[in-house]
Structure 1
């Protein structure tokens, strides 16, 4: 695990997590709540701050796997520009135990949080590994969960603070159209146990 296949290497992927250490990562508070265990990157759920890449990325394909304990809330942040304000300056793919949910909403697993609900329920039961792929190409954002395309969004359509293109409200104080597109990738500690592995990126 946490190794690239020859095809992935040829395609231009590189690892963001080496399976042994937190090299290349830092925490907004402290790293005590983030450990490496059995080759996995583990959030112990102690609210020790979000973990983020020291490097910034703009256009990319991010591919990773995660699994959670029951009822856990977390997220993968990207294009996160202000480390003191992840919620308002980082787009988030929702990680949540919503396997039994019938109606998808903007905080269901796989959602572009508070912006776009997933088109279908593709998350696996708590404790099972999920594969998440995030594609960012300028204004186009695509999210695939367990091989199911669940979100496609043109971020330029979010041109007013606190409003979605359909006129509904969101929690964000900035218009995403105007936000920087170069930013950190982050993993959220929302007080629950989460494991990550096979984090890789292609630019």
Structure 2
């Protein structure tokens, strides 16, 4: 009887610990305006009449695709799970979620220093290294010859995902979940585990969404902080 009670208490303790590891989730946009975000769009520096590529439309956060740039959170985040629900409005194209973003325009005078989680149709969940790096199993298979790896210029910065054919048809909603915990980044697309990187060279930063040529609608961008649990002594 005592043994069963002990097992039950241990199980309850694990459940409570797991629940305690997550804080309250919050939406990163309010459906009305871009409060909490700022845009970095190089073309807008040159042309005062250039269109702002990030808008709120019918309660959705929309990346119009052009001119190219990034919508960046004002806040810096660390240890979290991010859920993004998105769809390409008219035709498949390119976009991305950047995690651990920092120095703006660090690559090609456009991309902030970061790890990009690709959203491009048929490639959702790939990693792109932008002046930061990350490690995955089978690196040479998924990234190419080691001597060509790098985080800038013409180096091999793309790390292919593990699973193919996970996106929904164009016009349907996709769900991407990105978990950043310590030096690891994990990615799921529509419930399928598609990538897992370790030894990331950065573990905190802003979150950014791209305008990269294609119109993309976002109906959900929700962040759930994760509290790292430390082993108890005893």
TM exceeding 0.5:
yes
In the TM superposition, what is the alpha-carbon distance from 1:62 to its structure 2 partner? 0.5
Is 2:115 aligned against 1:94? no
1:185 corresponding residue in structure 2: 207
In the TM superposition, what is the alpha-carbon distance from 1:11 to its structure 2 partner? 5.2
Is 2:26 aligned against 1:14? yes
Q: Is the 8 A contact 1:123 1:146 kept in 2?
A: yes
Q: Please give the residue correspondences for 1:122-161 in structure 2 after superposition, counting only pairs within 5 Å.
A: 122-154=166-198, 156=199
Structure 1: any 5+ residue segments left out of the alignment? 1-9, 99-107, 157-175
In the aligned structure 1, how far is the partner of 2:52 from the partner of 2:111? 22
When Rg is computed on C-alpha atoms for both structures, the one with the higher figure is 2
1:82 corresponding residue in structure 2: 103
In the aligned structure 1, how far is the partner of 2:126 from the partner of 2:173? 17
Q: Is the 8 A contact 1:32 1:48 kept in 2?
A: no
Q: Which runs of 4+ in 1 moved over 3 A?
A: none
In the aligned structure 2, how far is the partner of 1:88 from the partner of 1:17? 21
TM-score (norm 2): 0.65
Q: SS where residue 211 of structure 2 aligns? A: coil
Is 2:46 aligned against 1:32? no
1:61 corresponding residue in structure 2: 81
Q: Is the 8 A contact 1:53 1:185 kept in 2?
A: yes
Residue-pair matches, total? 164
Is 2:76 aligned against 1:52? no
TM-score (norm 1): 0.74
After superposition, the CA RMSD in angstroms is 2.0
Q: Which segment drifts farther, 23-32 or 187-196?
A: 23-32
Decide whether aligned partners of structure 1 residues 65 and 153 sit closer, same or farther in structure 2, where only a CA change above 3 A counts: same
Aligned mate of 1:117, from 161, 171, 181:
161
Higher helix proportion: 2
1:201 corresponding residue in structure 2: 223
Decide whether aligned partners of structure 1 residues 112 and 48 sit closer, same or farther in structure 2, where only a CA change above 3 A counts: closer
Q: Which segment drifts farther, 72-81 or 45-54?
A: 45-54
Structure 2: any 5+ residue segments left out of the alignment? 1-21, 45-50, 129-157, 226-234
Q: SS where residue 97 of structure 2 aligns? A: strand
Q: Is the 8 A contact 2:69 2:211 kept in 1?
A: yes
In the TM superposition, what is the alpha-carbon distance from 1:123 to its structure 2 partner? 0.8
Q: SS where residue 52 of structure 2 aligns? A: helix
